[in-house]
Amino acid sequence: MLYSYKWLQELSQTKKSPKEVADLLIAHSFEVEDITEQGEGLDDVVIGHVIAKEKHPDADKLNVVSVDVGEERLQIVCGAPNISEGQRVPVALVGAVLPGNFEIKQAKIRGVESVGMICAEDELGLGTDHDGIMILGEDAPVGEKIIDYLGLDDTVLDIDVLPNRAHDALSHRGMAREIAMLEERVLTFDETMPADDAGIAVEVETPACSRYSATSITGVEVGPSPLWLVQRLKSLGHGSYNNVVDITNYIMLETGQPLHAFSADFVPKVIVRKATDREQMTLIDKTEVSLSKEDIVITDGEKPIALAGVMGGKGSAITDATVDIVLEAASFSARAIRATKSRHGLMTDAAYRFERDLDPNLTEQAAARAKEMIQELAGGKVVGVTDTYPQEQKISPWSIALEHASVERLLGIEIDTSHVRKILEGLNINVKQKNDVYLCHIPTYRRDLGNAEDLIEEIGRIYGYQNIHARPLVENVQVPQYNAQRFFERSTKDNFAKAGFDEVRSYSFYSDEDTRKAGVEQLEHVILAGGGDDASLRNMRRTLAVGLLHSAGRNQAYDEQTAIFETGRLYQPQKESGLPQEMLMLGIAVTSKKKDADQFYRLKGALETYLTSHGVRDVLFAPIAEMEEVGDDAPHLFHPSRRAKITLQDGMVIGMIGEVSKKAAKAFGIKNARTAYAQIDLDRVRKEARQDMTYESLQKYPSVMRDISIKVDAQTLVADVERSIYAAGSDLLVDVDLFDLYTNTKTAERSVAFHLIFQSNTSTLTTDQIDPLMAKIIQRITSDGWDVKGE
Amino acid sequence: MKDQLVEIVKGALEEISAAKTLEDIEGVRVRHTGKKSPLSVLIKSMKERTPEEKKELGPALNDARTEIHGRLEERLQEIEEAFDGAAEWVDVTAPGKKGPSGHLHPLTIVQRDIEDIFTSMGFEIADGPEVETEYYNFDAVNVPDNHPARDMQDTFWIETKSDEDRHVLRTHTSNVQVRAMQEKSDQGIKPPFRIIVPGRVFRQEATDASHEHTFHQFEALVVGEDVSVANFLHIAESFFSQFFGQDMKVRVRPSYFPFVEPGFEFDISCTICGGDGCSSCQQTGWIEVGGAGMVHQNVLEAGGYEKGVYTGFAWGFGLERLAMMKYRIDDIRHFHGGDVRFTRQF
């Protein structure tokens, strides 16, 4: 909220400068977002009188005017459409530096000398209006500084009052009370407004209205507000309508209590009730609203004349013709007002305060202040006051027992009981001390103070957090639980970074279009982030491919070859209700302009090295058949004959790998390059990771290597050939290692060559032992329908 | 005879000295020590000699053979160890051949630093769901429905088909406070404990150089029998001093977060000027870092601990903000931009 420094000063009697007040508040109470000196840059702006106006000889839209600024007459070229003779206008003299560091210089405009500038509101930093120059009142004294004339010698403080202090501090009185308290003075405001028998009839039919007071005032002269009032409201972000409405806004800013003035002609009586479903009303700003039975309305006995706590109705508004008014000062349920405000999208100042739960006792001082001001500025006379404040709604000071020890315990300080008492009493809290317990009676405007901790907070901030000194914890340290998932993820990242992959991070959601590009189907299961209309925030991710491929496409411009990875969560919706399952995944991608399948094998190799080094052995890579469902939609992303599922021995799928189809790559902006992508489930891998290695004695006898080269048909799997070799090779065959793979592009025949490693742990193997094994292997290969070269 | 032997030795030694390559040496070896070499022939012929001759010539032959073998060996070593400085010159300033090297994301690095520092102070690392129930994100941490405090965070809600429990993308890592405490209290574990929760959070706001809808928060929670504001200051100062590798001061200012009471914002002394005031800290000497406070008794109660028995503090701040301060990054959008030129700087 914006606060006028002058106003706070009048109320609090502080002698501090605006900056000092701000520092005091920052240290003990509130964040001060901004300090704005009102007249900043306006020292050389004076009131001018337009004496004459002529068309510019060379420009249709410009005028050359002669302006009397008191001591001299200036010739100024002016482009504003609304300028005319006789007006009083703000004139920036040559040498003035306006807000925004805009310096006024003498200049020739299209050949005509111009000395100074006639200003629009926004140029003076006084508003946003730039439709034309600012026109001042006819009585504005020529030559006087605009600062003096408009009362711009104030400083506005933008102070951030959070919901806990909204009950008491969203007003100048409240803020002044805070400042005085910090300067060790207690301010109280206690005007009363006794009810009488002459007021209008008020019936409150809903407990959501805790208090309703109506003051009848007659003989009001509705008209413009005095300049000081207009200016003060304006500097605090409020427009000016007429003196009565302006006074209600002013009192709200002063006391925190929203008021509403009705034209009495339309308010024979007041009934406060819940609205009926689809009950219609027109608000003061002409919006039509269709009400719900949760809304509270002020009615004239039949139809709504105000949407309670939010906005008045159009029909009963104050107009220039109004003579008699009914002034409402009421209190409503915070929850109800908040719901109404949200339901109808009406963010008004009144609703902002009511939804923060005001003290119903506040209505009296506001009504009393309004009465004074209306009498003074609009000449009205109070003829009756009605005040409905049922006993069961009454709020009286409540008590909190506070133990001295708990203050010291929570803040970590030693403090005298007298010091605590002084702080509490400074808050206008009535304290009775019994041994080491303070019995505190809380003033009703401090609705946030509900328990001992709330009071300790007050003591802490007023004592000054800067006076609390760091102390080490003396608690026992428990052995922290090891977060296995977190450290496995860490090790996974290290692995891929060392292998030459760069880590990227992408958002947890993507658009429908990305969903299609990545070939992720089953849209009906996707969880939607509601509210936003940004398409890229729509679907919670079910694959890391979208982020990584976008990144690969983007990085192509700088990189011959991109190798990237990401670890992050995927969100798997549940069929029934409940939170989605969040799965920690690893995605890796390699893009390169090198032709053919190198990328696939590079990625596969990196993955194999990773899995082996993390104790996951016996992983299978199996081709994914045309229509096969493997529990994830990623296969649609891949080249149909270059994709595999990654499974454990028991068939559990832990991930996918493949070359991204040309269509998908293109959709993600990857051009002229092959991209391989793999994704694995880190939780499944972690559960499989075996760290329980046991030592095997070192081999004493040398191994023997034999090579074998085999001709196979197109699409014969290396894995199948290996399996045959192992099956025939006995225990002495310890390793089969592919060292050459060649495909004859004409015949589609492939030749595969392996090193076969034989070893015994009991003796050095001889030719006589190995030859029969080789013969068995060759026989097996042949019987499986493949040709062993050289046989 | 003797003269012949002297000639043989002389010839052999000359050839040995003239040898330049390993092949030369091998040739010399065959010619002078092989079966058909003059020396071998002479040795063979000894059988036919008289005992006197044998006695006289034997040792000389042995010496000759030893000398030739010795010189051969010597020369072989000379040749093996010889090098041609000009031919084998290497430009030591040319770049080395690099192995593969990828880079970790700066958030990963910062998060690890934080985890390591806190782990060393006895904290455990907890995790929780990113898609969260309304209860754990709001109600459990004392942010009731229909309370203005809900407006303090712009929330992404999850579209639901029915009126089941409403879900949100968590707006803070504080959702894990009550989950972690419940997990402990369910197992009968009582305070003290110390927990950190680093993780991804979401706020529905427009992005610019300093705002993102997706960012990372870091939450610390300490609960015990006598945990105070002064303890918070100590842990915070210890952490930041370690993290930035210099002595850091922590300042707290009153503020309001529903899950703490008292609640405050905390600042750290400016890492650039050390607190003297500079343009980075707008001449204040302080940089705003995050929110903190003493855990609200309602939150402890939701976590399964009776009100009034324990006290604790909780704090949270943005990892991106810390990374931006540490590495002087000027635009928060780089973190999720997927540009490897960004990652490769770290």
Query: What does the pLDDT read at residue B7?
Result: 84
Share of chain B above pLDDT 70, in %: 99
The Cβ of residue A505 has, within 10 Å, a number of other Cβ atoms equal to 22
Element (H, E) at A231: helix A227-235
- What the block records as the tokens of B147 is 């309370």
All residues of chain A having their beta carbon less than 8 Å from the beta carbon of residue B222 are 473, 475
The greatest distance separating any two alpha carbons of chain B, rounded to the nearest whole angstrom, comes to 128
Query: What does the pLDDT read at residue A228?
Result: 87
Mutate which of B97, B98, B104, B237 to test chain A, going by most A C-beta atoms within 10 A? B104
All residues of chain A having their beta carbon less than 8 Å from the beta carbon of residue B231 are 412, 470-473
Which of B131, B200, B338 lies nearest to residue A580, judging by beta carbons? B131
Mutate which of B101, B138, B340 to test chain A, going by most A C-beta atoms within 10 A? B340
What letter does residue A617 receive in the DSSP assignment? -
The greatest distance separating any two alpha carbons of chain A, rounded to the nearest whole angstrom, comes to 127
CA A260 to chain centre: 33
Whether residues A579 and B254 touch (CB distance < 8 A) is answered with: no
A105 contact B CB<8A: no
Q: What is the per-residue pLDDT across A143-174, written as a single tens digit (0 to 9) for each?
A: 999 888 887 889 999 999 999 999 999 999 99
What angle is formed at CA A266 by the lines to CA A265 and CA A268, rounded to 5 degrees? 85
Q: Is the model's pLDDT at B161 over the cut of 70? A: no
Q: Average pLDDT for residues B39-47, to the nearest whole number?
A: 81
A540 contact B CB<8A: yes
As a dihedral over the C-alpha atoms of residue A512, residue A517, residue A523, residue A527, rounded to 10 degrees, the angle is -60
Rounded to the nearest angstrom, the minimum Cα separation between A601 and chain B is 16
- In degrees and rounded to multiples of 5, residue B43 shows phi and psi of -65, -45
Whether residues B194 and A531 touch (CB distance < 8 A) is answered with: no
Alpha carbons B109 and A772: distance in angstroms, whole number:
57
Share of chain A above pLDDT 70, in %: 96
Which of A339, A465, A474 lies nearest to residue B226, judging by beta carbons? A474
Alpha carbons B267 and B284: distance in angstroms, whole number:
11
Smallest CA-to-CA distance from A230 within A150, A297, A306, A119 is with A150
**Contact in structure between A500 and A64 (CB atoms under 8 Å):** no
Whether residues A410 and B294 touch (CB distance < 8 A) is answered with: yes
Query: What does the pLDDT read at residue A256?
Result: 96
A355 contact B CB<8A: yes
Task: Measure the N-to-C terminal CA separation of chain B; round to a whole number of Å.
Answer: 82
Q: What is the per-residue pLDDT across A308-333, written as a single tens digit (0 to 9) for each?
A: 999 999 989 999 999 999 999 999 99
Rounded to the nearest angstrom, the minimum Cα separation between A248 and chain B is 24
- What the block records as the tokens of A791 is 């046989």
Which of B157, B235, B254 lies nearest to residue A28, judging by beta carbons? B254
Which of B108, B234, B255 lies nearest to residue A472, judging by beta carbons? B234
A562 contact B CB<8A: yes
For chain B positions 135-174, those within 8 Å of chain A (CB to CB) are: 146-149, 152, 155-159, 162, 164-165, 167, 169
* Residue at A22: amino acid letter: A
Name A554's Cβ contacts closer than 8 Å, sequence gap at least 6.
A669, B338, B339
Q: Is the model's pLDDT at B50 over the cut of 60? A: yes
How many Cβ pairs within 8 Å bridge chains A and B? 240
Pick A307 or B13 by higher pLDDT.
A307
Mutate which of B166, B252, B257, B261 to test chain A, going by most A C-beta atoms within 10 A? B261
For chain B positions 37-96, those within 8 Å of chain A (CB to CB) are: none
Whether residues A453 and B262 touch (CB distance < 8 A) is answered with: yes
Rounded to the nearest angstrom, the minimum Cα separation between B124 and chain A is 5
Whether residues B192 and A558 touch (CB distance < 8 A) is answered with: no
Q: Whole-prediction pTM value? A: 0.84
Q: What is the per-residue pLDDT across A702-716, written as a single tens digit (0 to 9) for each?
A: 999 999 999 998 888
Among A302-316, B41-55, B303-317, whose mean pLDDT is lowest?
B41-55
Query: What does the pLDDT read at residue A238?
Result: 92
All residues of chain A having their beta carbon less than 8 Å from the beta carbon of residue B132 are 579
All residues of chain B having their beta carbon less than 8 Å from the beta carbon of residue A468 are 229-230, 233, 252
All residues of chain B having their beta carbon less than 8 Å from the beta carbon of residue A29 are 254
Query: What does the pLDDT read at residue B140?
Result: 94
Q: What is the per-residue pLDDT across A124-144, written as a single tens digit (0 to 9) for each?
A: 877 767 778 888 888 889 999
Q: What is the per-residue pLDDT across A634-693, written as a single tens digit (0 to 9) for each?
A: 567 888 888 899 999 888 899 999 999 888 899 999 888 889 999 999 999 999 888 777
Share of chain B above pLDDT 90, in %: 53
Contacts made by residues A56-65, CB under 8 angstroms, sequence distance 24+:
A56/A109, A56/A110, A56/A112, A57/A111, A57/A112, A58/A110, A58/A111, A58/A112, A59/A109, A59/A110, A62/A109, A62/A110, A64/A112, A65/A118
Q: Is the model's pLDDT at A532 over the cut of 60? A: no
- What the block records as the tokens of B253 is 């200012």
A184 contact B CB<8A: no
Kindly write down the DSSP assignment for every residue of A574-637, as one continuous string: -SSSSPPEEEEEEEEEEEESS-TTHHHHHHHHHHHHHHHHTT----EEEEPPTT---SSSGGGG
Q: What is the per-residue pLDDT across A733-783, written as a single tens digit (0 to 9) for each?
A: 999 999 998 888 888 788 999 999 999 988 999 999 999 999 999 999 999
Q: Provide the mean pLDDT of chain A.
A: 90
A529 contact B CB<8A: yes
Rounded to the nearest angstrom, the minimum Cα separation between B343 and chain A is 7
A164 contact B CB<8A: yes
Whether residues A335 and B122 touch (CB distance < 8 A) is answered with: no
Q: Is the model's pLDDT at A726 over the cut of 70? A: yes
Q: Is the model's pLDDT at A537 over the cut of 90? A: no
pLDDT band at A597 (very low <50, low <70, confident <90, very high): low
The ipTM value here is 0.84
Q: Average pLDDT for residues A284-307, to the nearest whole number?
A: 93
For chain A positions 491-520, those within 8 Å of chain B (CB to CB) are: 493-494, 496-508
Rounded to the nearest angstrom, the minimum Cα separation between B284 and chain A is 11
Mutate which of A475, A491, A548, A549 to test chain B, going by most B C-beta atoms within 10 A? A475
Smallest CA-to-CA distance from A45 within A77, A87, A88 is with A88
For chain A positions 119-148, those within 8 Å of chain B (CB to CB) are: none
Q: Is the model's pLDDT at A523 over the cut of 60? A: no
Pick B336 or B204 by higher pLDDT.
B336
Query: What does the pLDDT read at residue B128?
Result: 94
A163 contact B CB<8A: yes
Whether residues A30 and B254 touch (CB distance < 8 A) is answered with: yes
Rounded to the nearest angstrom, the minimum Cα separation between B126 and chain A is 7
Query: What does the pLDDT read at residue B33?
Result: 85
Q: What is the per-residue pLDDT across A232-262, written as a single tens digit (0 to 9) for each?
A: 998 899 999 999 999 999 999 999 999 999 9
Query: What does the pLDDT read at residue A587?
Result: 96
Query: What does the pLDDT read at residue A596?
Result: 65
**Contact in structure between A189 and A171 (CB atoms under 8 Å):** no
B20 contact A CB<8A: no
B336 contact A CB<8A: yes
Whether residues A475 and B164 touch (CB distance < 8 A) is answered with: no
**Contact in structure between A543 and B321 (CB atoms under 8 Å):** no
What letter does residue A562 receive in the DSSP assignment? E
Whether residues B192 and A26 touch (CB distance < 8 A) is answered with: no
Rounded to the nearest angstrom, the minimum Cα separation between B113 and chain A is 12
Mutate which of A181, A449, A457 to test chain B, going by most B C-beta atoms within 10 A? A457
Whether residues B131 and A540 touch (CB distance < 8 A) is answered with: yes
Task: Measure the N-to-C terminal CA separation of chain A; round to a whole number of Å.
Answer: 93
- What the block records as the tokens of B14 is 């000359």
Q: Average pLDDT for residues A563-576, to the nearest whole number?
A: 89
For chain A positions 327-346, those within 8 Å of chain B (CB to CB) are: 334-335, 338-339
Q: What is the per-residue pLDDT across B61-110, written as a single tens digit (0 to 9) for each?
A: 888 888 888 998 999 898 888 888 888 888 888 888 888 889 999 999 99
For chain B positions 225-284, those within 8 Å of chain A (CB to CB) are: 225-231, 233-235, 237, 250-256, 258, 261-265
